[in-house]
Amino acid sequence: MQELTHYLNGEHVNGTSGRFADVYNPAIGEIISRTPLASKAEMDQAVQYAAAAQPAWAAKNPQRRARVMMKMVDLMHRDMDKLAEALSREHGKTLPDAKGDVIRGLEVVEYCIGAPQLLKGEFTDGAGPGIDMYSMKQALGVCAGVTPFNFPAMIPMWMFAPAIACGNAFILKPSERNPSVPIMLAELMEEAGLPKGILQIVNGDKEAVDAIIDHPEIQSIGFVGSTPIAQYIYAGGCANGKRVQAFGGAKNHAIIMPDADMDNVVNALIGAGYGAAGERCMAISVAVPVGEDTADRLIKALTPRVESLKIGPYTSGDDVDFGPVITGAAKEKINALVQSGVDQGATLAVDGRGFSLQGYEDGFFVGASLFDNVTTDMDIYKQEIFGPVLSTVRAKTYEEAIGYAMDHEYGNGTAIFTRDGDTARDFASRINVGMVGVNVPIPVPLAYHTFGGWKKSAFGDLNQHGPDAFKFYTRTKTVTSRWPSGTKEGANFSIPTME
């Protein structure tokens, strides 16, 4: 069995803690490798390397740092198939979806090529008599990120690309369930010209996360995962004086108005609800049709489409809609939540629990499920299922429908399907959710805008990528400069003004 490594100071380094996590191929349900789980001492070693390398990297001008990003884009295009295959093997998502994972991260790397422009400060000539004022955006130092299993390429790049472009060193603690691609990305960054020690991969579990939270040299933490862990990292990091952006769970509603194009709605919900086996924080997991007729038409149209979804291993190529979930435990949890929906009175229009694929009986496959007549007190409505399950909550009016999304504790993403501009505009303006789609089922902003939810979906003041990332990974220093012209002045005991 292959034993994976950490990636420290440009080298593959074996773990020394004696603890390991099994890495599965979810399609066959077999262990294919194991990854080391770092100790506090191993994390400290990574921080020492990062702290030693960072000052020289920050001293390089932004244009030279941007050139590394330019080269990285070329290398990722060169190795796209290799990255996607490794990602699919450990995660289970289809190859086209894996390539999408890589590309959405690559787009943030492309955005970071603009670092020279994004890092420019401000200047005021003649702010007062003989006085100029200007600001500088300076790197924080050593930054860290903790990323989830569902996007092992995209989310690490959302963090380390802007952090590094700003002149920081970055320590990444990826998910122990699929650690190979992050190490491949670190290797590519060094091939692109990044100095050793600036990007390091430390595999681990809670012990490594706690070491990040507590280490005095680490200045900021980025996190994406569940809400309880987001709250834990946010509270601990802030208590230790660190900057923290922590993104948690989601329960994304799609409002379907009576005037919506039902064919487009069904296509959107099929992709957004069941793509990647529902293991996306931006998945649509709740459909809210307005009016009984709209609901009846939706369920009638959705049912045969859900029943006909093709499920299989990534090796089946483009003939598969989605693959397995990440672990056997995840499969059991999803099936248990589906049963809870039945027990609590929802109508199970399509039951995916009995799905089995010949030749892959030990894989972590879960069939697609569709619920109707779901109510807000049910577990399948309140909890993030993170599986191929779509719940339908019927609403009598638009106001009732929008209330469901606004009252839910999560506020990551939402969408509305309508042909009416007034309704769409009202929805976008009023909804208390961070990312909104109008006839767009997965409203993930492009790299030059920012990604982030509201309510219990996000903790921290700044979002991921876009302009917010360059604010998060820098400190602003403001300089007031005066060069005496030879005029002698006495002491002034009043607060300075620019009169």
Measured CA to CA, the distance from residue 393 to residue 346 in angstroms comes to 10
**How is residue 430 written in tokens?**
């009023």
Measured CA to CA, the distance from residue 50 to residue 217 in angstroms comes to 10
With tokens 């003939």, the residue in question is 319
Alpha helices in 246-395 (DSSP H): 262-274, 292-307, 328-343, 379-382
Measured CA to CA, the distance from residue 175 to residue 41 in angstroms comes to 19
**How is residue 415 written in tokens?**
């969408």
Say whether 372 sits in a helix, a strand or coil.
strand
238 catalytic per annotation? no
- Of the candidates 112, 143, 166, 281, the residue annotated as catalytic is 281
Q: How far apart are the first and last CA of the chain?
A: 74
**How is residue 413 written in tokens?**
């993403």
384, 285 contact by CB (below 8 A): yes
Backbone torsions φ then ψ of 111, nearest 5 degrees? -60, -35
Output b/e per residue, 35-47; b: 16+ Cβ within 10 A.
Answer: bbbbbbebbebbb
Q: Smallest Cα–Cα separation from 472: which of 165, 72, 122, 104? A: 165
CB-count burial class (<10 Å; 0-12, 13-18, 19+) for 464: buried
Pairing mode, strands 435-438 and 474-482:
unpaired
Contacts of 382 (CB under 8 A, 6+ apart): 251, 376
Measured CA to CA, the distance from residue 21 to residue 468 in angstroms comes to 34
Question: Would you give the DSSP letter of residue 39?
Answer: -
Residue 132 forms beta bridges with which residues?
481
Helices 80-91 & 62-78 angle (0-180, nearest 10): 70
Query: Would you please indicate which residues are annotated as catalytic (active-site) residues?
Result: 281
